[in-house]
Structure 1
């Protein structure tokens, strides 16, 4: 399998030149399990570890290889394991705030405590499919949070409404999505019943990488099964207690299709913590940004100020109060996040 069919391009080629002169090779990370990575090597895959020098220089979670990364490696003769020396610069990466475990608490609807750090889920992605299950799984506020994360990652979003065969309100859900993401393509499919599944193939052309994102049980693994053409990904039956699919994928993985496309399947998320600058909301809440230009005051808080264009839009039913509340919640979350990041940097610089 040549590098270009794995997503290699001229940008990576240019970044790799100096390493190539040293006799090193390039491979793409397929999966990782703690300190062990599986990378592509010509027609096969090879396990790899990072070098001691690499580990010493890596300061944060984001500095280590992630699924989808192009890495520079060395393989000693008669050695079944490669050594990773470096990561080539990422074109983009799907990131979120590192999940918090132990001692966490909710305050005003936001998670507090834990370490403020960026987590790279996967990298070098062309399209992000945000998968929503139509079996009582639809939640428009969750769609908004996924949109913010995808826009912050610099990836083109596409929304997939799966399990259309189990829903009688498809048009209603599509209209809700259009209200919050009017410019984003939306497709209704059923992976289990093979309904409208051909929509994926125009995105899965040779060398193009897509990622499937969504909550547990929305059917990402079932979609992957269909596209792969076999039972590569385990699926589980619908839970009789919740009526929802059970989450299956436990680790992100790069999967190469016979069509030439590349899939990154990710575990279902229960904790969707934002990461990014406040400006990313200009994309995920574009209509609120545009309305704010017509507010009488530049520092309008969109509450009871005279001449607030956003409150006028709510009164005229051109904007919902719940949409504005969602914007304010995400804005407060990102403001708090960036304050913590700045404080952390200040402390680090003093050491």
Structure 2
């Protein structure tokens, strides 16, 4: 058995329950008899994975069969490990069913989604006061968060820069009235206790947000240790560079597990249709009153959604965001259903007019 010496996660003793193991995982694993044991992926290095197992941490490779099938576990996945007693090594031979799957659309013209993290309970959408604050970007994050099956929480960082944080909090509530918004200053620690209801033993949280919003600073505060490199943002545009370059899982002192993510330059929504419905319930409710069931809320007569915009009941920017995301969703579904090769050959031109618009949406 290869003990982990990776810097991805400090070694400590823990039980399976403490790393998120549940009865559902136990039932899925029960079919394996013999030299098998369960583990949870904490970090992926170039060719091997660091895993948490009962009573410690190990490093393991992926079986040839899984590589051939293209089955690569994500951080947070529970996997089945085959033990080679003679060689004292472990090999990942299967991935247990995921209770939640947090993914984003692949960049460019790829047709598959990219898994960010698995088996998570809460998604902290970290934004910050200043240049980074962008309601349209928060809506995009909410779409992929809702689609994952985990519960989203908006964390408004750097509130020490504001005279009145309630103004931005009200803006966030205007697009997601039922989503918790926790104002904090990760640098000073002010307000971080507001996250305590989610940092429970055995619960898994993942952080997402653009570069420079303070995700690494927040993790360092919660761990009470400088484990993540932090950086300053540029004053003229409020942007930072990616200080986190490896996705990894940490065990907090509260007993919760947290997955940090590199800042996302592009946030494609993949095929997250469920996330659209949960992020824009106000527009879907209005749409039920439209004259046509397939109304696109553009120039159709009898559109209740456009009427709501004209009457000041719905912000035009929110409708524009919804329509951009719907076009992107249709584009992603087209790729998934037809296949990239056929799309390039026969179907690319009719939807090429959306390409620039989609790219702009990802970068907003």
The residue number in structure 2 matching 1:162 is 157
Could you tell me the TM-score, scaled by structure 1's length?
Answer: 0.89
Which of 296-305 and 215-224 deviates more?
Answer: 296-305
The residue number in structure 2 matching 1:34 is 46
Structure 1: 5+ residue runs without aligned partners?
101-113
**Alpha-carbon distance between aligned partners in 2 of 1:124 and 1:307, rounded to the nearest angstrom:** 44
The residue number in structure 1 matching 2:337 is 342
**Alpha-carbon distance between aligned partners in 2 of 1:182 and 1:228, rounded to the nearest angstrom:** 30
Which of 155-164 and 274-283 deviates more?
Answer: 274-283
The residue number in structure 2 matching 1:83 is 91
Which string of whole-angstrom CA distances, capped at 9 and with x for unpartnered residues, describes residues 185-218 of structure 1?
0111001111110112211111000001100010
Q: Does the Cα contact within 8 Å between 2:144 and 2:272 map onto a contact in 1?
A: no
Are residue 46 (structure 1) and residue 41 (structure 2) matched? no
Are residue 94 (structure 1) and residue 102 (structure 2) matched? yes
Which string of whole-angstrom CA distances, capped at 9 and with x for unpartnered residues, describes residues 21-77 of structure 1?
23310000000023210011222211111111222233xxxx311100000002222
Given candidates 180, 204, 208, the residue that maps to 1:209 is 204
Are residue 286 (structure 1) and residue 281 (structure 2) matched? yes
Alpha carbons of structure 1 residues 240 and 321: separation in structure 2 relative to 1, 3 Å: closer
Q: Does the Cα contact within 8 Å between 1:46 and 1:81 map onto a contact in 2?
A: no
- Count of matched residue positions in the alignment of Structure 1 and Structure 2: 330
Could you tell me the TM-score, scaled by structure 2's length?
Answer: 0.86
Which of 271-280 and 253-262 deviates more?
Answer: 271-280
Offset at residue 346 of structure 1 (A): 9.8
Structure 2: 5+ residue runs without aligned partners?
1-13, 344-364
Given candidates 6, 15, 35, the residue that maps to 2:28 is 15
**Alpha-carbon distance between aligned partners in 2 of 1:344 and 1:192, rounded to the nearest angstrom:** 46
The residue number in structure 1 matching 2:36 is 24
**Alpha-carbon distance between aligned partners in 1 of 2:238 and 2:275, rounded to the nearest angstrom:** 35
Alpha carbons of structure 1 residues 243 and 57: separation in structure 2 relative to 1, 3 Å: closer
